């Protein structure tokens, strides 16, 4: 191992030790995550400045940092399916009311879909304000290859219809879906868990002693899974540091500057949509500043990891322990939000791409005849977008092909894709949390004592130690 790599790793270990020292001194979870984010950016920028983004030293250092960063994401992915399963079954056993279950689902999915349409509208507006167009953009080898890849995936996107997507939510083999083998496995597990919960409540009146045994087993499983969640979430600052350092170290600042207008327009749209979330929360009678502060750690993780699905455990715990949302609603919102109605990946991004690419084929994208079909297609296409890396590409393929626009031109943005995807993912998670919060308030189930409390998620996990 090169001496430079050893020195880099020694410094990284020192920074991780500093984060551990913060934890031992009971710094709040928000402070630790914010510190990790800042240290990761500085460390990554220093690596690039010293060795170059494509240098072998940066590559080797990144491989070791990836043990911490990607390892943390894998641990989160490990507990997603068990968390969804036991939490939703447990929630249904407490509800014992199919009507409440229907209201929760309708409110959550309705909010996700509605906000995605609003997000698409904001994307169109920002594209107009920044004058975005793909006309005249030149493609290098990587961008050409990316365009060819997207062209190759076009057939898969065109073959998917809304009925087929809805059908994919039904778990023909729930044990396969528990492995996360399909893009819609998360929703399929939710459906399976609902069936188990509803079936169990049906046993309650006929065989109460068996129901009591099952309920006790679910409580035990739930306690164990939540303990696993607590243990994994303690590692969040370390994961955020490593993920952010790797991302910054390997980023090409020159490519970012070449497409700075798209970057600026994208983040302008993302910030505006986040403002919409806060406005909805305020309209529901909650303090938006307090809400934003409490969800910041989840958004920071989503930003650095670029995985909506991987954020599910942290999102659920934040909603229940910091926002006062009941566990059943929190799980529904986090699970559905990782697959349906992603405001960033399925709303803003494909809408901006469509508006940007339309002029290359002689279409005026700012007419009602273009915008109204685009919004409708975005809404339908947002169903079933996978909450992992690549979900935005899939959504873009659906929208662009449905609008008869050349999909290969989307490859022109490959150089800034990671940077844009960070913000998109954070907005996706923000949208799912907002959907859960609004559904909880609409049903009168928000625990305002929890929402108004100053207790931090880090303190909660410390108490659970």
Q: Are 437 and 196 in contact (CB under 8 A)?
A: no
Query: pLDDT grade, residue 152 (50/70/90)?
Result: low
CATH topology of domain 3-463: 1.10.3860
What is the model's pLDDT at position 460? 46
Q: What is the mean pLDDT of residues 75-104?
A: 80
Exposed, middle or buried, 26 (CB in 10 Å: 0-12/13-18/19+)?
A: exposed
* DSSP H or E run through 192: helix 185-206
Q: In whole angstroms, give the CA distance from residue 330 to residue 333.
A: 5
Nearest residue to 266 (alpha-carbon basis) of 157, 72, 405, 122: 122
Query: pLDDT grade, residue 161 (50/70/90)?
Result: low
Q: In whole angstroms, give the CA distance from residue 410 to residue 350.
A: 9
Eight-state DSSP code of residue 325:
-
Residue bearing the bigger pLDDT, 158 or 228:
228
Nearest residue to 231 (alpha-carbon basis) of 313, 306, 329: 313
Q: For the chain, give the longest Cα–Cα distance.
A: 72
Please list, in sequence order, all residues whose beta carbon lies within 8 angstroms of the beta carbon of residue 329, skipping any fewer than 6 positions away: 91, 104, 108, 319, 436, 439, 440, 443, 445
Q: What is the mean pLDDT of residues 388-402?
A: 72
Residue bearing the bigger pLDDT, 101 or 365:
365
Strand partners, 340: 383
Cα torsion angle, 193, 194, 195, 200, sign: positive
So where are the chain's domains? 3-463
Q: What is the mean pLDDT of residues 250-257?
A: 72
Exposed e or buried b per residue across 412-423, where buried means at least 16 C-beta atoms within 10 angstroms of its C-beta: bbbbbbebbbbb
Per-residue pLDDT reduced to its tens digit, 256-303: 676 788 889 999 999 999 999 999 999 999 999 999 999 999 998 889
pLDDT surpassing 70 at residue 138: no
pLDDT surpassing 60 at residue 34: yes
- Taking all residues of the chain, what is their mean pLDDT, rounded to a whole number? 84
When mean pLDDT is compared across 277-281, 302-306, 448-452, the lowest value belongs to 302-306
Per-residue pLDDT reduced to its tens digit, 163-196: 777 788 889 999 998 888 777 788 888 889 889 9
What is the model's pLDDT at position 387? 46
What is the model's pLDDT at position 52? 85
pTM of the model: 0.77
Share of the chain above pLDDT 70, in %: 86
Residue that has been written with the tokens 């006062």 in this structure: 324
What is the model's pLDDT at position 46? 93
């Amino acid at each position: 191992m090169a001496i430079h790599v050893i020195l880099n790793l020694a410094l990284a270990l020192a920074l991780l030790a500093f984060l551990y020292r913060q934890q031992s001194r009971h710094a709040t979870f928000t402070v630790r995550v914010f510190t990790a984010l800042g240290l990761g950016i500085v460390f990554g920028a220093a690596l690039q400045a010293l060795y170059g983004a494509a240098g072998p030293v940066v590559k080797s250092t990144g491989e070791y940092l990836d043990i911490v960063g990607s390892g943390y994401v894998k641990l989160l992915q490990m507990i997603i399916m068990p968390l969804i399963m036991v939490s939703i079954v447990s929630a249904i056993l407490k509800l014992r009311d199919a009507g409440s279950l229907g209201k929760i689902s309708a409110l959550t999915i309705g909010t996700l879909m509605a906000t995605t349409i609003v997000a698409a509208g904001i994307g169109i507006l920002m594209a107009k304000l920044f004058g975005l167009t793909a006309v005249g953009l030149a493609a290098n080898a990587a961008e050409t290859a990316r365009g060819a890849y997207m062209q190759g995936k076009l057939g898969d996107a065109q073959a998917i219809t809304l009925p087929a997507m809805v059908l994919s939510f039904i778990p023909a083999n729930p044990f396969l879906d528990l492995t996360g083998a399909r893009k819609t496995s998360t929703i399929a597990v939710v459906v399976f868990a609902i069936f188990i919960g509803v079936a169990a409540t049906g046993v309650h009146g006929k065989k109460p002693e068996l129901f009591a045994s099952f309920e006790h087993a679910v409580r035990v499983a739930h306690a164990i899974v939540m303990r696993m969640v607590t243990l994994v979430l303690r590692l969040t600052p370390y994961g955020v540091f490593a993920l952010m350092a790797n991302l910054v170290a390997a980023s090409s600042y020159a490519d970012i500057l070449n497409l700075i207008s798209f970057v600026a327009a994208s983040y302008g749209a993302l910030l505006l949509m986040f403002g919409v979330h806060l406005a909805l929360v305020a309209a529901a009678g909650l303090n938006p500043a307090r809400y934003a502060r409490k969800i910041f750690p989840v958004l920071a993780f989503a930003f650095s990891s670029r995985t909506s699905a991987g954020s599910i455990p942290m999102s659920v715990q934040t909603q229940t322990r910091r926002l006062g949302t009941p566990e059943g609603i929190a799980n529904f919102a986090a699970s559905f939000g990782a697959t349906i109605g992603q405001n960033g990946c399925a709303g803003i991004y494909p809408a901006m791409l469509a508006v940007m690419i339309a002029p290359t084929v002689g279409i005026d994208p700012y007419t009602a005849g273009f915008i109204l079909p685009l919004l409708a297609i975005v809404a339908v296409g947002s169903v079933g977008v996978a909450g992992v890396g690549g979900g935005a590409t899939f959504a873009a393929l659906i929208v662009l092909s449905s609008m008869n626009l050349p999909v290969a031109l989307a490859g022109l943005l490959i150089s800034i894709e990671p940077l844009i995807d960070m913000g998109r993912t954070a907005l996706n998670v923000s949208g799912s949390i907002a959907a859960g919060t609004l559904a909880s308030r609409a049903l009168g189930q928000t625990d305002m004592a929890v929402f108004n409390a100053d207790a931090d998620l880090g303190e909660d996990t410390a108490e659970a130690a």
